[in-house]
Chain A
Amino acid sequence: MPRSDAMDGAVRAPVFARIAGEWRNGNRAGLARLLLGALAVLAAATFASSIMTGAADASLANVFRWLIGEADQTLSARDRIIILDIRLPRAVLGMLVGAALAVSGAVMQGLFRNPLADPGLVGVSSGASLGAVLLIVLGSTVLGPVFALFGFYAVPAGAFLGGLATTLLLYRVATRGGQTSVATMLLAGIALGALAGAVTGVLVFIADDRELRDLTFWGLGSLAGANWTKIAAAGPIIFLALAVLPFLARGLNAVTLGEAAAFHMGIPVQRLKNIAIFSVAGATGASVAVSGGIGFVGIVVPHLLRLVIGPDHRYLLPASALLGGTMLIFADMLARTIVSPAELPIGIITAFVGAPFFLWVLLRGRSNMGL
């Protein structure tokens, strides 16, 4: 077929037919852009319905009228508190944490060249937890100066350092000569997670009543404690960590061919790894600090997206952020409403969905993951 005909056809054809044609030709970029748009709409819708859903009956329409300043509508003080100080920060935090966890998963999987890498599974979250618990328990005594210095950033900073130390250690243990062994990575992750758990256990043992309440509340993995202070503490870290990642997308794509091949293609591999590891540790650490250990988001979300749009990180990373946030807010809505007016920890919901999913991925890909 002459080229001009093909071009005309492409212009005339409806957008979906064109995208389907590109897809058959191995080009999933059009589909990815379409999906990004759809995910943005879905995220906004989920966000809004999360603000409207809850044990109390507070209407979003009223809030909206109040926000745009319709004078005849006065928002009751109760509605205002429920929506602006309880549900809104919770939805914002859910979006932030979901995005952070999903993107961290996608980046770790790209970096380790392994679809099973996930901050929760390989002990990064445990390391971050240890860092956070260390500051919660010892913050009033030995580590008092840290609090004096960092204020409410102290716990997220502790979680960041814990997550960073674990990630670096994991990379050292599991990677030899630029090749990462899946088995070593998962097993080392279990060992590091257990070690961090043991130390955390000791700290819980010596904690006093008030600290213990803080710890229990936080350790279950929940968005229930969401407030604007937590968002102010974790938000900037997560935002910074996620903001650098689009610049790594091309490098992460190249690294899927191996570190040597990425270097041959002109990628400064060592710098890429350093930035990626710091970002993952920052995003995971900050998430763990404000919401505890919420598992499996980082493995489910990128995997689902890869099935549809493929592994190109230029689309995978933003799509993971949107779908991760959406899924976590949705899980939180379930957590709040299933046993209403009581609440389930959100970690239970993500584990119920994520653990079977993980097994499915494992069985499906066992042959080509070198297990």
Chain B
Amino acid sequence: MISVSDISVRLSGRQVLHGLSFDAIPGALTAIVGPNGSGKTTTLKAVSGEISPSAGRVTINGRDLASLKPWELALKRGVLPQSTVISFPFTVREIVRLGLSAGVDATSHDRIAGQALEAVDLAGFSGRFYHELSGGEQQRVQLARVLCQIAAPVVDGEPRYLLLDEPVSSLDIRHQLTIMGLARQFCAGGGGVIAVMHDLNLTAMFADEIVMMKAGRIRARGAPKDVLTDATMEAVFGCRMRVNVAPAGGVPFVLPQSAAM
């Protein structure tokens, strides 16, 4: 379990997060949603260990983040950044294999890297240059790299985690579904996923737990049907709109057409 307890974060003198607490349990997809600038990415950075909170603490499988070395963390969680610009001409294969750690024999390297590219629907791209790909393809290459680092959802009985910062932001609708399905599959295998999301409908479809943020605080938390309500939509996004429920499965959905600004 990743446990965030009462963390506050200051960035260049300004307090960005105010006493956040939530848990992300293995086997579940936890989505962080909220308006622009509400602190979603900062929260993910605090969970990844990239920035250390000024107060409170984050634990991963019971270990305090601050006590773990970078390589120990890298075995427990993989992080997909929003976008990655590279100034050197790496091929897709070379980028993906950066995620493989040393020590595993080379034959399984090839297998893991191949499976990762296949999983993100980029089989056959390994000889292409990264900088010549589209934004969405680059994002999927990065995800394949993360999947190389965290290939199995559970290792030695210990669950591992994927931290995804807007994993589907620049993808077409088919690949949005592919990637979210991949995250679900990782959860089904016993791992945990924390994803910063913008698309509320995909969130409602795929998330088990939603953490809804506004201005550096958690405003609502729980299952999609409990969090995505007319009241929270207006309170958090400042957007008066109707949340509806699809007949099959009871998944809520939001139509922007219903908004009254």
Nearest Cβ on chain A to B167's Cβ, whole angstroms: 14
CB-contact partner of B49 in A23, A258, A263, A311, under 8 A: A263
What number of A-B contacts does a CB cutoff of 8 Å give?
89
User: How many positions in chain B have a CB within 8 Å of any CB in the partner chain?
Assistant: 35
Q: Bound complex: CA of A196 vs CA of B91, how far in Å?
A: 40
Min Cβ gap B89→A in Å is: 6
| Interface-central residue, B79, B92, B98, by most chain A CB under 10 Å | B98
**A138 touches B (CB below 8 Å):** no
A25 touches B126 (CB 8 A): yes
Is A26 a contact partner of B93 (Cβ separation < 8 A)?
yes
Contact B101 A114 (CB under 8 A): no
Is the Cβ of B73 less than 8 Å from the Cβ of A28? no
Q: Which residue of the partner chain, among B50, B74, B75, B90, contacts A256 with CB atoms under 8 Å?
A: B90
User: In the complex, which of the residues A24, A26, A261, A267 contacts B79, with contact meaning CB atoms closer than 8 Å?
Assistant: A261
Residue in B49, B81, B89, B91 whose CB lies within 8 Å of A261: B81
Q: Which residues of A contact B127 (CB under 8 A)?
A: 23-26
Q: Are B149 and A114 in contact (CB under 8 A)?
A: no
Interface SS of chain A: helix, strand, loop or mixed?
A: loop
Question: Is the C-beta of B191 less than 8 angstroms from some C-beta in chain A?
Answer: no
| Contact A26:B126 (CB < 8 A) given known A261-B81, A263-B50, A312-B94 | yes
| Complex: A256 Cα to B90 Cα, angstroms | 10
Please measure, in the bound complex, the distance between the C-alpha atom of A265 and the C-alpha atom of B98, giving whole angstroms. 8
Q: With the chains together, A28 CA to B89 CA distance in Å? A: 12
Assess whether B87 is in contact with A258, with CB atoms less than 8 Å apart: no
- Interface contact A256-B149, CB-CB below 8 Å: no
Chain A: minimal CB distance from B85 (Å)? 8
A95 contacts the other chain (CB 8 A): no
In angstroms, Cα B71 to Cα A263, docked, is: 8
User: Bound state CA distance, A113 and B49, in angstroms?
Assistant: 22
Which chain A residues in 10-28 approach chain B with CB under 8 Å? 23-28
**Complex Cα distance A24/B124, Å?**
10
Encoded as 1 (CB less than 8 Å from any A CB) or 0, chain B from 73 to 114 comes to: 111001101001111111111110011011000000000000
* Inter-chain contact A260/B50, CB cutoff 8 Å: yes
The reply to whether B101 and A253 contact each other, CB–CB distance below 8 Å, is no
Report if A141 contacts B (CB, 8 A).
no
Which residues does chain B contribute within 8 Å of A268, judged by CB atoms? 69-71
Instruction: State the CA gap A205–B241 with chains docked (Å).
Output: 77
Complex contact B86–A257 (CB within 8 A): yes
**Chain A residue contacts of B101, Cβ below 8 A:** 266
> From residue 240 to 273 of chain A, which have CB atoms closer than 8 A to chain B?
250, 253-254, 256-258, 260-261, 263-269
Contact of A28 with B94 in the complex, beta carbons under 8 Å: yes
For residue B240, CB closer than 8 A to chain A, the reply is no
B70 touches A267 (CB 8 A): yes
* Total count of chain A residues near the partner, CB < 8 A: 31
- How far is A283 from B104 in the complex, measured between Cα atoms in Å? 33
- B87, A115: Cβ atoms closer than 8 Å: yes
For B48, the chain A residues whose CB sits under 8 A away are: 264
CA–CA, A256 and B176, complex, Å: 27
A362 CB to closest chain B CB, in angstroms?
13
Q: B88, A256: Cβ atoms under 8 Å? A: yes
A310–B84 contact, CB under 8 A?
A: no
Least CB distance, A222 to chain B, in whole angstroms? 33
Determine whether the beta carbon of B81 is less than 8 Å from that of A114.
no
- Minimum CB–CB distance from B47 to chain A (whole Å) comes to 11
Chain A residues, Cβ within 8 Å of B81: 258, 260-261, 264
Instruction: Specify which chain A residues have a CB less than 8 angstroms from the CB of B219 in the assembled complex.
Output: none
Q: At the interface, yes or no: A369 with Cβ under 8 Å from chain B?
A: yes
Known: A257-B98, A266-B70. A310 touches B91 (CB 8 A): yes
B74 contacts A306, C-beta separation under 8 Å? no
Q: Are A368 and B131 in contact (CB under 8 A)?
A: yes
Q: Determine if B50 and A306 form an interchain contact, defined as CB atoms under 8 angstroms apart.
A: no
Bound CA–CA A256/B128 (angstroms): 18
* B98 contacts A254, C-beta separation under 8 Å: yes
Beta-carbon contacts of A263-289 to B below 8 Å, as 1s and 0s? 111111100000000000000000000
Which A residues, 192 to 216, have Cβ-Cβ distances below 8 Å to chain B? none
What are the residues of chain A within 8 A of B84 when measuring CB–CB? 257-258, 261
Interface positions, chain A 328-371, Cβ under 8 Å from B, are 365, 368-369
Are A28 and B88 in contact (CB-based, < 8 A)?
Answer: no
Measured CB to CB, the closest approach of chain A to B113, in angstroms, equals 10
Give the docked Cα–Cα distance between A266 and B184 (Å). 25
Judge whether A311 and B99 touch: CB under 8 Å.
no
- The docked-state distance in angstroms from the alpha carbon of A250 to that of B149 is 14
A310 and B79 contact, Cβ closer than 8 Å, known pairs A258-B84, A264-B74, A265-B98: no
Q: In the bound complex, do residue B90 and residue A310 qualify as a contact, i.e. CB atoms below 8 Å apart?
A: yes
Contacts of A263 in B (CB 8 A): 49-50, 70
Residues of A within 8 A of B (CB): 23-28, 113-115, 250, 253-254, 256-258, 260-261, 263-269, 306, 310-312, 365, 368-369
What are some 19 contacts across the A-B interface (CB < 8 A)?
A26-B94, A27-B91, A27-B126, A256-B87, A256-B90, A258-B84, A260-B45, A260-B79, A264-B50, A264-B79, A264-B81, A265-B74, A266-B70, A266-B75, A267-B70, A310-B90, A311-B88, A311-B90, A311-B94
Extra pairs beyond A264-B78, A267-B71, A268-B69 (15, CB < 8 Å): A25-B127, A26-B91, A26-B94, A28-B94, A113-B88, A115-B88, A256-B86, A261-B81, A264-B73, A265-B149, A268-B71, A269-B70, A310-B91, A311-B88, A369-B87
Shortest beta-carbon contacts, A-B, top 9: A266-B74, A26-B93, A26-B91, A311-B88, A266-B71, A264-B79, A26-B127, A26-B126, A266-B70
